[in-house]
Structure 1
Amino acid sequence: MHIKHLNLINFKNITQAEIEFSSGINCLVGENGAGKTNVLDAIYYLSFCKSYFNSVDSQNVTHEQEFFVVQGQYERQNEDEHIYCGLKKSQKKHFKRNKKEYGKLSEHIGLLPLVMISPSDEQLINEGSEQRRKYMDGVISQYDKPFLDDLMRYNRSLLQRNATLKQLKERQSRDFSMLDLWDEQLEQLAQRIYGKRIDFIKELVPVFQKYYAYISDGKEEIALNYKSHLHNGSLKEQLLEVRSKDAILGYTTKGVHKDDLELLLGGYPIKKIASQGQKKTFLIALKLAQYEFIHKHNGIKPIVLLDDIFDKLDDARSNRLLQLVSEDVFNQVFITDTNRSYLLDIVERTGKDFKLFDVAQGQVLAD
């Protein structure tokens, strides 16, 4: 699978662009703030119906404009796919596949698998557990639609339980019977979500460790540990035990919405001891493992977006990453960098077909 053509109108700092891509490697070169990352984000948008960086759709519209359009022409399993997204401020966005609008955006997730590696991924290491849950759920959702449905239903039930808890708190009521329905629903949904997260991590870890060992030349040991309240048994029983506490706080303290991934380097939290290069290697290995996982489960090679990927990596790690990118395991790859000659040298060494684009002030020109 690959994207052949991208058309943008008023998307971030790009007022208008029509771009024809290579099915191999595509390089976008320009200064910081030129718009390179915005091109990658537009491609991401067509896969996930949202920006990688900004969840508020209206903020992705070019300043002083009222709408944006993002369109892509793909080749997927030897068939053409046309994906369209249009948004007017203060209105619902329209997302279409081959001119037919989706009833629910969740129906689109997984059609165009994609993996993005960006400097903002450091949030996985530096921020709270929500970022790491989003990582797990984002990967699983690309190949398992029932999981995504369960996750959405769980979140709706959680909102209802929290609303009930707030009412109990405001009324200073001890009538906890109102929670029975939500506890039962959360139990059933949580068990399925928990089981699929466990299976995902169990399969992901050895692949992740393989990639990290390759890029780092086997010099460091890393680990991922999945943490969940459900390790301790039935969620329904745990919710029963904390009802009084939850009623005082006004929100639910137990459940898969509190799950986390422990990221370890040499047995210690990577956040506390790792260098910038080690953190970047950790994240790259995690995303490459994600790529292999998705390819295995849905049979389609995801598009790979590498945003400013070589920064903070030493030459040895950069060269090993380059060797990985040049292998046939990857199909279409996008790379951004500020250094034209450095990037050109890198991609020429891969021996793959490539195109180079100069990006400046929101203008994208093929070399």
Structure 2
Amino acid sequence: MHLETLHLLSFKNYLDENLRFSPRINVLVGKNGSGKTNLLDAIYYLGFTKSAFSSSDQQCITQGNSYFFIKGVFKNDSTTKEVTSTVQLGAKKIFREDSLEYQKLSEHIGKYPIVLIAPDDVYLVNEGSEGRRRFFDGIISQLDKIYLENLIQYNQALKLRNGLLKLYAERGSAVDWIAFESYDKLLSTLGDSIFKRRSAFIIEFSPVFQKYYHFLVENSESAEVQYNSELKGKTFSAGLMDVRPRDVALQRTNFGIHKDDYDFILGNEALKRYGSQGQQKSFVIAMKLAQFEILDLHKGFKPILLLDDIFDKLDDFRIARLLELIKSEFGQLFITDARPERTRGLLNHINVPSTVFNIDQGKVTLYEQQEK
């Protein structure tokens, strides 16, 4: 699968751009702040119905405008599909495939798999459990529609249950746990299913991740991702019962799969505490490469890979290892770099043709196209 063309209207710093891409390697060069990452974000948006870098759709609208529009044409073998998104202030987001509007955005997830590797990905190591859950949920949701629907319903039920806890606190009245029975039953059913799917997925994910980690660092140190859930020790219903006093005190639900985490282990120690910056970067890139391979395996075609300014963040050895994969393993690839001569030299070294675009304040021009 590859993105053939992209049309942007009022998306971030792009007022009106029509672009045609190479099915293999596309390099986006330009000064910092010129819009390279914004262009990657537009591609990401077409796959996930949301931005990778902005917390709301409104932040994606060009300043002073009231809407944005994105259109991408994807090609997979002989099949061509047009995906469009329109966001208007004060109106419902419209997302379409071949002019047919989705009634639920979740129906689109997984159709156009995209893997993004960005400098800030190290947050997966250093920040809280929410980001780690979101990473793995994002992969599983692209593979399993039932999992995605269960996750959406679980989060809705959790929000309602937490709202009820706050309502009792505001009233200052004793909690009537009978009023929670329907929420607790739904959370238990959905939570058990999500827990089982996460447990099964980590078994599939771990050896693929370990393969890439060892490839990137070329040494024998062990690296592992462990799925950590309270459901390993007790049933969901029993767990909810045990934390009722805390639920009342904190006005939120304190047991469930929304408390799960993933432990990153290097050797026998926590990566966050004992891993060097290089080890942490390698660990995260290996996870993203494992994500790529698993999506490729399940979908039967390669995802689009977005590499945002990562050559600045890697040492020469890791760059060389990653270039080996670029030459042999990936399909369509987008690379951003503030130094065109560096990327061109790296790609020439592995004898891989590329199309280079120059970006200057939201304007895109063809810089160089190599045919080999």
Report the TM-score, using the length of structure 1 for normalisation. Answer: 0.97
Do the aligned partners of 1:169 and 1:249 also contact (CA within 8 Å) in 2? no
Aligned counterpart, 2:46: 46
Cα separation, 1, equivalents of 2:175 and 2:110: 44
Aligned counterpart, 2:122: 122
What 5-or-longer segments of structure 1 have no aligned partner? none
Cα separation, 2, equivalents of 1:9 and 1:219: 49
Do the aligned partners of 2:68 and 2:88 also contact (CA within 8 Å) in 1? yes
Do the aligned partners of 1:6 and 1:18 also contact (CA within 8 Å) in 2? yes
Match of 2:262, SS state, is strand
Do the aligned partners of 2:67 and 2:87 also contact (CA within 8 Å) in 1? yes
Shift, 1:85, TM fit: 0.7
Is residue 235 of structure 1 aligned with residue 236 of structure 2?
yes
Match of 2:157, SS state, is helix
Do the aligned partners of 1:67 and 1:88 also contact (CA within 8 Å) in 2? yes
Do the aligned partners of 2:119 and 2:308 also contact (CA within 8 Å) in 1? yes
Cα separation, 2, equivalents of 1:66 and 1:163: 33
Which one-letter code corresponds to 1:123 in the other structure?
A: Y
Shift, 1:219, TM fit: 5.0
Do the aligned partners of 1:113 and 1:300 also contact (CA within 8 Å) in 2? no
Shift, 1:158, TM fit: 0.7
Cα separation, 1, equivalents of 2:345 and 2:337: 12
Is residue 333 of structure 1 aligned with residue 333 of structure 2?
yes
Shift, 1:77, TM fit: 4.1
Aligned counterpart, 2:245: 244
Aligned counterpart, 1:176: 177
Aligned counterpart, 2:167: 167
1:1-367 equivalent positions in 2, closer than 5 A? 1-170=1-170, 171-218=172-219, 220-327=221-328, 329-367=329-367
Do the aligned partners of 2:154 and 2:190 also contact (CA within 8 Å) in 1? yes
Match of 1:4, SS state, is strand
Shift, 1:243, TM fit: 1.5
CA change 1:194–1:77 in 2 (3 A) is: farther
Which one-letter code corresponds to 1:76 in the other structure?
A: N
RMSD of aligned alpha carbons: 1.3
Which one-letter code corresponds to 1:354 in the other structure?
A: S
Shift, 1:221, TM fit: 2.5
Cα separation, 2, equivalents of 1:274 and 1:103: 45
Deviation per residue, 1:245-281 (Å, 9 max, x gap):
2122211000000111111223222222333222221
Which one-letter code corresponds to 2:274 in the other structure?
A: I
Which one-letter code corresponds to 1:333 in the other structure?
A: L
Deviation per residue, 1:46-85 (Å, 9 max, x gap):
0000000112101111111221111101102421100111
CA change 1:34–1:365 in 2 (3 A) is: same
Cα separation, 2, equivalents of 1:267 and 1:28: 40
Greater mean alpha carbon deviation, residues 134-143 or residues 74-83: 74-83
Which one-letter code corresponds to 2:115 in the other structure?
A: V
Greater mean alpha carbon deviation, residues 171-180 or residues 229-238: 171-180
What 5-or-longer segments of structure 2 have no aligned partner? 368-372
Report the TM-score, using the length of structure 2 for normalisation. Answer: 0.95
Q: What percentage of aligned pairs have identical amino acids?
A: 43
Q: How many residues align?
A: 366
Do the aligned partners of 1:12 and 1:38 also contact (CA within 8 Å) in 2? yes
Cα separation, 2, equivalents of 1:220 and 1:21: 40
Cα separation, 2, equivalents of 1:86 and 1:168: 40
Deviation per residue, 1:268-311 (Å, 9 max, x gap):
22222333222221111000000111111221210000001112
Cα separation, 1, equivalents of 2:288 and 2:132: 12
Cα separation, 2, equivalents of 1:144 and 1:77: 23
Shift, 1:348, TM fit: 2.2
Cα separation, 2, equivalents of 1:8 and 1:284: 29
Greater mean alpha carbon deviation, residues 300-309 or residues 261-270: 261-270
Cα separation, 2, equivalents of 1:304 and 1:316: 21
Cα separation, 2, equivalents of 1:275 and 1:266: 13
